[in-house]
């Protein structure tokens, strides 16, 4: 990580700690109930949620060190066709992926974006859904060749990564297809990250509150429901 990256990361980390301390002081002092406090300070709370969500998004991406994608608002950066290769030739595609891992091609990070996940190893169910919709949309947009290339990358990348010393199982993650879907839908690249962030702000906020009030450390919530089982009612009957 460059000196600029370290500086930005340090500033964001200090700012986040200050915000977290302030939130903790709000909820731990004065003896007010949670709902009463939220209602009394709802405007401030809304600002805190928005700003904290944006900061968390920046921190997550900074930890993974994708500074250029942060600055320009890119959600994903999947390899795109270049003139130097025949993208229908699997050997050439595999060779290019190897160059990416060797930091000799693409953006020089040595990463194949859209491949690998911390939890999913055999398959990412989100990627399975996105692949299905991407195939349908690509057929309508006459972008079948681009979709075929992405599928080719998904098929070839795991073996290329194993040849480069990767030992854990590798599968495509949702990022491999979301950028392509955004592009087909006409979404500007500057909105890729905002779309990603807005969809997750409620979950991020709930996650952070759980960290502050319960664990005081980064956790992966277990999602154990405590409500009584409810009978499903069709929308027309509600």
**Angle between the N-to-C axes of helices 175-184 and 192-210, in degrees from 0 to 180, rounded to the nearest 10:** 140
Catalytic residue among 117, 124, 142, 216: 117
Structure tokens at 189: 């690249």
Catalytic residue among 83, 175, 207, 216: 175
161 touches 115 (CB < 8 A)? yes
- Catalytic-residue membership of 175: yes
DSSP label at residue 172: B
The owner of tokens 């930890």 is: 63
Rg (the chain; Cα; Å): 22
CA distance 197 to 202: 10
Structure tokens at 179: 């950028």
- Catalytic-residue membership of 83: no
| DSSP structure string for 195-212 | HHHHHHHHHHHHHHHHII
Residues known to be catalytic? 117, 175
């Amino acid at each position: 990580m460059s000196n600029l990256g370290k500086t930005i990361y340090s500033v964001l980390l200090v700012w986040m700690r200050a915000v977290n301390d302030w939130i903790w002081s709000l909820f731990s002092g004065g003896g007010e109930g949670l709902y009463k406090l939220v209602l009394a300070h709802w405007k401030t709370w809304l600002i805190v949620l928005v700003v904290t969500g944006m900061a968390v998004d920046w921190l997550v991406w900074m930890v993974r060190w994708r500074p250029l994608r942060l600055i320009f608002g890119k959600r994903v950066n999947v390899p795109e066709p270049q003139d130097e290769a025949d993208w229908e030739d699997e050997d050439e595609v595999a060779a290019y992926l190897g160059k990416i891992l060797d930091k000799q091609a693409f953006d020089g990070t040595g990463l194949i974006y859209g491949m690998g996940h911390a939890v999913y190893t055999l398959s990412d169910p989100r990627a399975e859904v996105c692949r299905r919709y991407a195939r349908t949309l690509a057929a309508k947009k006459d972008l079948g060749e681009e979709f075929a290339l992405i599928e080719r990358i998904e098929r070839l990348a795991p073996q290329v990564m194993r040849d480069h010393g990767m030992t854990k199982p590798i599968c495509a993650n949702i990022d491999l297809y979301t950028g392509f879907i955004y592009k087909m839908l006409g979404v500007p690249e500057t909105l890729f990250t905002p779309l990603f962030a807005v969809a997750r702000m409620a979950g991020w906020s709930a996650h952070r509150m759980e960290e502050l009030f319960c664990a005081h450390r980064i956790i992966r919530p277990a999602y154990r429901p405590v409500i009584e089982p409810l009978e499903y009612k069709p929308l027309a009957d509600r």
